[in-house]
Amino acid sequence: MSFASAGLFSSVRKSLRPILGFLVATTVAIAGSTAAAQAQSKKAAIVIDASTGKTLYSSSADSPRYPASLTKMMTLYLTFEAMSAGRISKDTRVVFSKYASSRPPTKLGVRPGGSITVEQAILGLVTKSANDAATALGELLGGSESNFAKMMTAKARKLGMSSTTFRNASGLPDPGQKTTARDMAILGMSLREHYPKHYSYFSTRSFAFGKSRMPNHNKLLGRVQGVDGIKTGYTRASGFNLVSSVKVGDRKIVAVVMGGASGRSRDAEMERLIAAYMPKASSRGSNPLIAARTIEPQAPIVASVASPLHAKNVPAPEARPEQVIETAYARPLARPADPIADAVAKADAPTPKVEVDQVKTASVTPSAAPKSGWVIQVGSVGSEAEARALLDKTSDKAAQLLASAEPFTERFEKGGTTYIRARFGGFSNQATATKTCAALKKRSISCYAVQQ
């Protein structure tokens, strides 16, 4: 290159330098604004007066968001339900499958085939948010994590969480797993009101496991007056999430912050909401079942109608008689024979409810109850719609066995509560009904034969 050519190249490069600088600055600015817009789009929040059900504050509370580890709140709800029903205890062993052990951190690190107690699993979820323990609990209660996720979604519908779908027990990323801030508030309130004896786990500050002590990820515990839980969550897609339950004197609120840019900013936003809206909460006390009523939307900020906070079959608090809800299609839990429970079953106590993917009117049209003969009962639930859904699901699962049977529903009262039996009739004798029921049980369908 000649001296003249080199000088020309240097001159051109100098003249282009401002243009290149402008392009770089513009690209950085665009990237920054895009990141800011994405962070903003994740944000959502709600504050509910836990004494009245009134929405005190709402921002994008009904917009779809990723729950991240807030998902574990539902895993724990179903765990508490199983404990209250006596199907498991805090000392029941939770065995880790190869799949459960393979879940990415955060985790307890239990090897395949190893086990911990249910209580250890609970503490692992509320403190370290252990993904492997959540999956193992799901497999224990549902037979598989995918089946457990269906149970979770069905339970969400029963609680009034109409915008939530679960795909796993832990909250690990899945594009199909969605919720809203309002639905998470419903779940937080339901946990506290339906299982008050177990709710105290959420206030655990740390958990000793092996040689390690695991602090609770919820930094507001012990720092903000009245905060007693509930759960944090984070994935890259969700941002930083937090559900808080707060009680100061006679005032109670449940608050949700989703999509925070960092754990610190999320916590700061939660503190701001608590400080701003706790004084506005009712101090008159409340019916102990706020989760049995509809959360009133805040007007005019909330554009959409609030989801009902309670479907009529939500279990009552532990201090009251509780309706046991479980799946008839899950792998049965190993436990010793219970002669008292067997006696109750023989006395025609309601059989466990069956969760369905969504509670809706099924395609089966039940016929009138037969006047006599032998029938097979597959469940006793709290509504006609659930009974029809159960009959439809059973018919789909065992179409050949029940091809000539007639599905029907039948109401009965027990302890002041109305239940709906889901039954199949048309069996000419006890032997036929008993044989058919035995075949259904081989397909993991709970049932028993009874003379009408």
Return all residues near 171 (Cβ < 8 A) that are at least 6 apart: 67, 68, 69, 70, 71, 72, 131, 134, 177, 233, 235
Residue of 72, 128, 155, 158 with catalytic role: 72
| Higher per-residue pLDDT: 392 or 348 | 392
Packing angle between helix 72-84 and helix 131-142, nearest 10 degrees? 40
The tens digit of pLDDT for each residue in 104-125 reads 999 999 999 999 999 999 999 9
Answer yes or no: 404 catalytic.
no
The pLDDT of residue 321 is above 80: no
Mean pLDDT value across residues 417-433: 87
Please report the pLDDT score of residue 414 as a whole number.
72
Please report the pLDDT score of residue 153 as a whole number.
96
The pLDDT of residue 378 is above 80: yes
Measure the CA–CA gap between 84 and 195, rounded to whole angstroms. Answer: 8
- The reply, when asked if residue 441 is annotated as ligand binding, is no
Mean pLDDT value across residues 364-389: 76
Q: How confident is the model at residue 285 (pLDDT cuts 50, 70, 90)?
A: low
Among 87-91, 106-110, 397-401, which stretch is predicted with the lowest mean pLDDT?
397-401
Return all residues near 261 (Cβ < 8 A) that are at least 6 apart: 39, 239, 240
The pLDDT of residue 301 is above 50: no
| Percent residues over pLDDT 90 in the chain | 52
Q: How confident is the model at residue 17 (pLDDT cuts 50, 70, 90)?
A: low
For residues 329 and 445, the answer to whether their CB atoms sit within 8 Å is yes
Among 86-95, 271-280, 346-355, 389-398, which stretch is predicted with the lowest mean pLDDT?
346-355
Return all residues near 46 (Cβ < 8 A) that are at least 6 apart: 55, 57, 58, 59, 61, 181, 182, 185, 255, 256
The pLDDT of residue 166 is above 90: yes
The tens digit of pLDDT for each residue in 128-138 reads 999 999 999 99
- CA proximity to 251, closest of 32, 48, 21: 48
For residues 257 and 264, the answer to whether their CB atoms sit within 8 Å is no
Alpha-carbon distances of 144 from 21, 97, 168, 202, 332, rounded to whole Å: 56, 10, 10, 25, 12
Answer yes or no: 69 catalytic.
yes
**Residue 173, Cβ neighbours under 10 Å: how many?**
15
Mean pLDDT value across residues 146-162: 95
What are the chain's domains?
43-292 (3.40.710.10), 339-451 (3.30.70.1070)
| Higher per-residue pLDDT: 420 or 110 | 110
Residue of 69, 101, 244, 383 with catalytic role: 69
For residues 250 and 284, the answer to whether their CB atoms sit within 8 Å is yes
Answer yes or no: 72 catalytic.
yes
Please report the pLDDT score of residue 31 as a whole number.
44
Amino acid at 145: E
The tens digit of pLDDT for each residue in 49-59 reads 998 999 999 99
Pairing of strands 115-117, 417-427: unpaired
On the 0-12 / 13-18 / 19+ scale of CB atoms within 10 A, 10 is exposed
